[in-house]
Amino acid sequence: MSRRFLTGAVSAGLVLVLAACGGTTKDDSSGSGAQQSTATANPNAAAKEGVKMAFLPKQLNNPYSDIEVSGGKAALGELKGEYKLVGPNDASASSQVSYINTLIQQQQDVIGIAANDPNAVCPSLNQARSAGIKVVAFDSDAAKDCRDVFINQATTQGIGEALAKQAKDLSGGSGEIAVLSATPNATNQNAWIEVLKKELAKPEYASLKLDKVAYGNDDDQKSFQEAQGLLQSFPNLKVIVAPTTVGIAAAARYVSSSSYKGKVAVTGLGTPNQMRAFVKDGTVKQFALWNPADIGYLAAYAGVALKSGQISGKDGEKFKAGKLGDYTIGANGEIVLGPPTTFDANNIDKFNF
C-alpha cells in the first residue's frame, strides 16, 4: 500500500518536472502592459479647485514623511483642494495596496505615493488610473508605467557631486576623508557614494584621498562607534562625510565631545533641527539636504496640474509650483526638486524641520 503510494508520488513528481521543462522562464519576453497616457496637455488650462488629493507615505508617524506631507497640505490649502493622509503603520511592500484600493473606492482625484516597493503597488495604481485618478509618486518611485509623474528630491548625480564639493571645501582642497554610511546595502547611499568616488577620480579632486567607507547601519550607537573608530584608525583624517541623517548626527556628537573638535570636519546629509546645536558650537560648518516639505508641496502642485489637464506627464511639459517657481517635466515623467540646500550658521535658523 505505502509502496504503491510512493511509486505514485514519485511518478507524479516526475511528471511535474517533465512538465516544467517547457515552462516560462525569465528570458521569455513578457510584454509589460505599460499604460502610456494619451492625454494631451493644455498648459493654459485653469487650475481646478476642490481637487481631492490623498497622500500615502511609506508609513505613518515617521518624522520625515510627516514633514513631507505637511508641505502637501500647505500647497493644497493654497490651491483650495482637499488634503487627506492615509497609510500603513509598517513600511512593508504590500501593505500600501489595500490603502490604494480604499482610495479608488473613495474616488479621490489624485494619489501622492511614496512607494515601499515599486512593483507591488503597480497593479492597484494602474487600476486607480483607469478609474481616472492621477498618480504622483514622490520620494520613492513606483514603476514608471504605473504613475503619471515622479517628484525626485534630487538626482543621484546631484547629491554625489554635492558631497564631493563639501569634502573639498572643508578639507581646504587636500587631505584624507572618510565616509560614514547607513547599511552596506542601502540603495540610495550606495548610489551617492558611487558618484562621490567617480568625482574623486577627477583631476580637480586629485589631492583628496578616501580612506574608508564605514557603515553605522543607521543605528545611532553603531554610527557613534564607527565615527570613533575612523578617527582612531586614520589620525590624519580631515573630513567625515555622512550621507545619512543618523550617521551625521552621531558623528557630530562624537566629534563635538572629543579633542578632534575644530580639527576634523563633519558634513553630509542632515536635518537642520538635529544639527542646529553642532552648527552653533562650531563642530559642523556646513551640511546639505533637500527640504522635505518642498517635496510634498511640489507633489501637490503637480497633482493638481495633472488633474487640471495642464500637464500629462510627458517630457518637456511645464507647470508652475507656487512659491517654488516653474518646473519642467524631464524624461520618464521625472520632476527634479532641485539641488540640495546647503545649511550653515548663516541660514540654519530659517529652517524648522
Partner 1 sequence: MSDQGNRLGRLLSWDAAVVLVTVTVLIVASGAVENFGTSRNFTFLLLDLLPIALVALPMTFIIVTGEIDLSVASTLGLTSAVMGSLWDAGLSIETIIPLCIVLGAVLGALNGFFVTVLKLPSLAVTIGTLALYRGLAFVVLGDGAVADFPRAYTSWVTGTLGDGPIPNVLVPLAVVALVFGVVLHATPIGRGVFAAGAGEQAARFAGIRTGRLKFWLYVVSGAVAGVAGVLWTLRYSSARADNGYGLELAVVAAVLLGGVSIFGGKGTLPGVLAGVVLLASLQNALRLQDVSNEALNIVTGVLLIVSVLLPNIVSSARTALRRRHRATAPSAVSPER
| Residues in touch with partner 1 (CB under 8 A) | 16-17, 19-28, 30-33, 60, 84, 86-90, 92-94, 97-99, 101-102, 104-107, 117-120, 122-123, 143, 183, 185-187
Select 27 or 326, whichever has its Cβ closest to partner 1.
27
> Measured between alpha carbons, how far apart are the two ends of the chain, in Å?
72
Contact, 134 vs 167, CB < 8 A?
Answer: no
CA 72 to CA 295: how far, in whole Å? 8
Closest CB 346 distance from partner 1, rounded Å: 38
Closest CB 193 distance from partner 1, rounded Å: 16
246 grid coordinates:
543618523
What DSSP state is assigned to residue 158? H
Contact, 265 vs 211, CB < 8 A?
Answer: no
Closest CB 247 distance from partner 1, rounded Å: 18
CA 283 to CA 303: how far, in whole Å? 41
Q: What is the largest CA-CA distance in the chain?
A: 86
Select 32 or 174, whichever has its Cβ closest to partner 1.
32
Select 60 or 324, whichever has its Cβ closest to partner 1.
60
Select 183 or 258, whichever has its Cβ closest to partner 1.
183
Closest CB 13 distance from partner 1, rounded Å: 8
DSSP 303-353: HHHHHHTS--S-TT-EEE-GGG-EEE--GGGEEE--SPEEEETTTGGG---
Select 99 or 205, whichever has its Cβ closest to partner 1.
99
Closest CB 20 distance from partner 1, rounded Å: 4
